[in-house]
Chain A
């Protein structure tokens, strides 16, 4: 734009009482509505104080999806919530209970609540009316999430529905009657979730006792010359099972309190069969702070055994974990460094810790979270985050690796920024065997 000479700055006057009141109103609105789904945060039939003779409640709970947020980050979970809300709205349009629908609300975390006015239907029929509709809502949500999110969603999928109906009783305040109905439907959904959890924990126990894990390898490459720097070892469960992907394995292990057992078996599996290509390059392995601080892991024989098997190991620790185990972790880190291991901070930039933490731990590698890499070419703030991490890396002599590169546009943007290394589906899927070229 050409210079057109100085223009006057128009300043808005100072606040009045009206301004303060209007802003308070906007703030209150904000408190009542969820920013992501745009749904009200409270179930309200929206009928004033009119009494509803028969109120039907359908409660849909995104079981373990709350865990998705800490695994994949808030952006993916935002998408899950938006998809769920729009799926419910679409299915409401074609529902046999459409005419009876009163409201749809969200609890702000993982639960959606649908209210229906069933006053015109006989009370003994309420359950029979609500249950098939609830099942349809659930199937709709699962179908759309699968379509949009694919495999990751399938593995962690668990959507549960519960229903309840409450009859009006003049002795009981309608607001409490409503709250009881919502609670009852929610508990019904939770009961199903608990049963499912027990089943999942059982299947993990079986996998561990049969040692049914395997390793796949993902190359870490130079972004300019595509030369292989090393390989990250990734763990898979039985092919085609619900527990094939590591996130599913680990989230179930957390539920069943079997994290250490799982991690031990992961390491044994990785070191049991190192492909030739891996033996001659850097080996990236993931470990939790919990494992690294465990005496069995820190045992001299264990450490030297690992060093004998592969002399160039980089242990990846997620940024999420370090925050909570900071002091103890630093000591362990020094011990492991003395034993010959190097470190990478995994998931950097996912927002759990500040740069300060990374600065203190002085890792040799900083692996940038894929949530930052995703569509980095379209997002100035993400590039800003990357620049901060790059300058931090320069300060402490750490090498940056971008994780989860999926598109040429992302790759170009990362190269322009000066990221030296990266990995991701763009360069090939993680595989059990390593072919000659990347």
Chain B
């Protein structure tokens, strides 16, 4: 079984690097994009095992991106972890409504990120296996 792949989307390249540093140490195959539109097409072309997604981004925000991902047959079941500075209950509900799987507030602790990513990629594997 190949290592799970994670795609990180954040308009701040610093955040991508920080998340990537934690996850690649754990053996995940990580890729990312700081432009949400390029990210969307990359994810649709080659669906990852998990998307880590910022909410506030210019052009196409994380919620829209998630909504589009949920509508495509190839990416319908890819779990999405929202990584955002917005912590209001209202925003968490929006994350649920567009089909998000979990939510992590910035700034985040590496341990918390690890735990959530592990849980989401394992769930997806279990669902995927017969």
Residues in chain A within 8 A of chain B (CB atoms): 1-15, 19-20, 22-23, 26-27, 29-30, 33, 35, 38, 74, 349-351, 353-355, 379-382, 384-385, 388-389
**How far is A385 from B42 in the complex, measured between Cα atoms in Å?**
31
**How far is A80 from B72 in the complex, measured between Cα atoms in Å?**
22
* Partner of A381 from B30, B70, B100 at Cβ < 8 Å: B100
Contact between B24 and A9, CB atoms less than 8 A apart: yes
Closest to B60 in A: A23
Question: What are the residues of chain A within 8 A of B100 when measuring CB–CB?
Answer: 381
Q: Which of chain B's residues 16-32 have a Cβ closer than 8 Å to chain A?
A: 16-17, 20-21, 24-32
**How far is A56 from B25 in the complex, measured between Cα atoms in Å?**
62
The smallest beta-carbon distance between A31 and chain B, in angstroms, is 11
- 9 tightest CB-CB pairs across the interface, nearest first? A380-B102, A351-B93, A10-B31, A12-B33, A7-B24, A4-B27, A9-B20, A23-B37, A12-B42
**How far is A200 from B25 in the complex, measured between Cα atoms in Å?**
64
The smallest beta-carbon distance between B34 and chain A, in angstroms, is 8
Q: Across the A-B interface, how many residue pairs have beta carbons closer than 8 Å?
A: 111
* Partner of A20 from B24, B37, B97 at Cβ < 8 Å: B37
Contact between A74 and B97, CB atoms less than 8 A apart: yes
* Partner of B101 from A35, A354, A380, A385 at Cβ < 8 Å: A380
* Partner of B95 from A15, A19, A355, A381 at Cβ < 8 Å: A381
**How far is A349 from B70 in the complex, measured between Cα atoms in Å?**
24
Interface residues on B, range: 35 or more
**How far is A91 from B69 in the complex, measured between Cα atoms in Å?**
30
New A-B pairs, 13, CB < 8 Å, besides A12-B39, A23-B59: A6-B21, A9-B16, A14-B35, A15-B37, A19-B41, A23-B41, A26-B40, A26-B68, A27-B60, A381-B92, A381-B102, A385-B92, A389-B89
Q: Contact mask B88-130 → A, CB, 8 Å, 1/0?
A: 1110110111001111000000000000101100000000000
Question: What are the residues of chain B within 8 A of A8 when measuring CB–CB?
Answer: 24
Contact between A11 and B88, CB atoms less than 8 A apart: no
Contact between A355 and B89, CB atoms less than 8 A apart: yes
Question: What are the residues of chain B within 8 A of A10 when measuring CB–CB?
Answer: 30-32
The smallest beta-carbon distance between A85 and chain B, in angstroms, is 15
The smallest beta-carbon distance between A108 and chain B, in angstroms, is 14
Question: What are the residues of chain A within 8 A of B89 when measuring CB–CB?
Answer: 349, 351, 354-355, 385, 388-389
**How far is A11 from B19 in the complex, measured between Cα atoms in Å?**
13
Question: What are the residues of chain B within 8 A of A15 when measuring CB–CB?
Answer: 35, 37-38
The smallest beta-carbon distance between A185 and chain B, in angstroms, is 28
B87 adjacent to chain A (CB < 8 Å): yes
Contact between B25 and A3, CB atoms less than 8 A apart: yes
**How far is A85 from B96 in the complex, measured between Cα atoms in Å?**
22
Contact between A35 and B71, CB atoms less than 8 A apart: yes
**How far is A328 from B100 in the complex, measured between Cα atoms in Å?**
36
* Partner of A1 from B26, B30, B64, B90 at Cβ < 8 Å: B26
**How far is A349 from B40 in the complex, measured between Cα atoms in Å?**
30
**How far is A5 from B38 in the complex, measured between Cα atoms in Å?**
28
B67 adjacent to chain A (CB < 8 Å): yes
Question: What are the residues of chain B within 8 A of A23 when measuring CB–CB?
Answer: 37, 40-41, 59-60
**How far is A3 from B39 in the complex, measured between Cα atoms in Å?**
27
14 contacts between A and B (CB under 8 A): A1-B27, A4-B27, A9-B30, A10-B30, A12-B42, A23-B37, A23-B60, A26-B68, A27-B60, A35-B67, A35-B70, A381-B102, A384-B102, A389-B89
Contact between A27 and B20, CB atoms less than 8 A apart: no
Contact between B90 and A351, CB atoms less than 8 A apart: yes
